[in-house]
Amino acid sequence: MENTTRRTWFIAFVVSLGGFLFGFDAGIISGVMAYAGPEFDLNDIQTGWVVSSPSFSAMLAMLISGRLSDFYGRKKILIVVAFLYALSALLSAYAVGYNMLWIARMLGGVAFGAALILAPTYIAEISSAENRGKLVSMQQLNIVLGFFAAFLCNYYLNELNTSGDSFLTDETVWRWMLGLEMIPAVLYFILMFFVPRSPRWLFLKQKVNEAIEILKSLHSKTRAEEEAKSIQESIQKQSNKEKVNLKELVKPALRFIFLVGLTIGILQQITGINAIYFYATSIFKQTGIGTNAAFASGVLLSMTTVVFTIVAMLLIDRMGRRPLLLIGIGGIALSMLICGYGFKQATYELSTEKMSALDASLVENLSGFEGKVYDNDVAFKNDMKQALGSQVYAKNEGAILEAAANMNSTLILIGILVFIACFGFSLGPVMWVMLSEMYPNKYRGLAIGVIGFVNSFASWLVQQVFPWELSNLGNATTFFIFGFIALAGFFLFLKILPETKGKSLEELESELIT
């Protein structure tokens, strides 16, 4: 691999570290809430808000970060992003109550909202058509590596805490989980100073000499000259047009690709990915495998994500974007329906034998339910909460469900892993690649910002509502909803999805914009 290519890969890796921090934050919260939720006695709405509040603030960041980066430059905004990540981790770890916890997490949301928009934009702007898919996919790879690191940290810190031989307690273990994010955040902040400014942004700001020098450092001299000429021609075509505003995105020339982008952005979230990630420990507890096994299953889930994101990076510039998305969304629909079926077959019974495995204090309060069979998880959990109180039930949910649940937990685990695998090679990385490719230079920041906003709103909504869904609709109905949404998405993609593989940003602009 030649030096210029190595330099491009290094820069793409550094810039996409914001994705790692997003993944780490999203993964770590599933373990945090197993302890912080009961400690602060949070209800379903409060639990949903602590988990989802970063996505809420990310919506606002996504709306303005693209335009801010058009004005100040991608690099400067990403340095601010790294600082906010570090500050959020510090304040979250020292949270003294519910309000401080969600406010601190919202700071992190501002950071990852901006990073999720700006990293793929920047990477697309330093890449050639041949390697753009792989390089932009590095954002998603870093996200899933962040998830893996977080689930691994959750698993080991939970093991240390439950062993009784460490300094950790139920009251401090979750603070260590949150505080660890400081390490990659500080590293990201430092490394961003070694990244050049975007050459395409420099051309827009009339800093031609600096832009050409950066292109030469990223590509061969001949390729740099070709890229420079292509970028300048594209900018020249746009220079005589009126200033960009939101209404232009829905004018006939841009309407189709804007709607395609919106569709991908919404479906990426409403098929349930962040319900699975952010609540992984809680979901695995629902299968009755126990708290420790739930933490271990989170590690398996995140490993699957890493493997299939790498598969996507290897295939995206060979197979193309459209086939990966169609295969992936079809698999997502099937796997969610399998999970729904698995939960639908479940029954719950506290038998005499299983009751003996619970703490004596629990047995005393639950003795009236011994031998009673439930075919509905909502009715079972409501009776448990009424008998024990919500805080005591929350602290012991893993043990109670492990004692009572009778279901095919292996089928559900397989369903979730297939879902994660399919998302990992399709909707996860391919969405950001396509969004970075479909829009002209002039509109790219605004279009991706608006779609990112809608994407983040959908993510926030799923995260906020998910605990309520589990409590009121039940496990089976919740997963069936995700499955049928994905099925509808498959047929919609079949009809509207274009292919953007192997074309320069300027070629795509001339093809997709009428």
381 within 8 A of 298, measured Cβ to Cβ: no
Average pLDDT, the chain: 83
Q: What is the pTM of this model?
A: 0.75
Residue 156 CA to residue 150 CA, distance in Å, equals: 10
Average pLDDT on 140-155 reads 86
Lowest mean pLDDT among 1-10, 61-70, 277-286, 396-405: 1-10
Q: How far is Cα 254 from Cα 256, in angstroms, rounded to an integer?
A: 6
Q: Which bin fits 62, alpha (ψ -120 to 50), beta or left (φ > 0)?
A: alpha
Q: Which residue from 245, 302, 322, 286 is spatially nearest to 474, judged by alpha carbons? A: 286
Residue 239: predicted pLDDT: 63
Domain ranges across the chain: 3-195+251-344+410-512, 347-406
pLDDT band at 4, cuts 50/70/90? very low
SS3 state at 405: strand
Residue 2 is predicted with a pLDDT of 47
CA distance 272 to 219: 39
pLDDT in tens, 269-298: 999 888 887 788 788 888 877 777 878 888
Whether domain 3-195+251-344+410-512 has CATH 1.20.1250.20 = yes
Count how many residues are written for the chain.
Answer: 514
- Edge-to-edge strand order for the sheet containing 405-406? 373-374, 347-349, 405-406
pLDDT of 238 over the 70 cut: no
Residue 376 has pLDDT above 60, yes or no: yes
Residue 348 host element (H or E): strand 347-349
End-to-end CA distance of the chain: 39
Q: Is the pLDDT of residue 117 over 90?
A: no
Structure tokens at 60: 């606002």
CA R_g for the chain: 24
Residue 433: is its pLDDT beyond 60?
yes
Q: Look up residue 58 and give its amino acid.
A: A
pLDDT in tens, 169-214: 888 899 999 999 999 999 999 999 988 887 777 877 777 777 777 7
CA–CA gap between residue 313 and residue 428 (Å, rounded)? 11
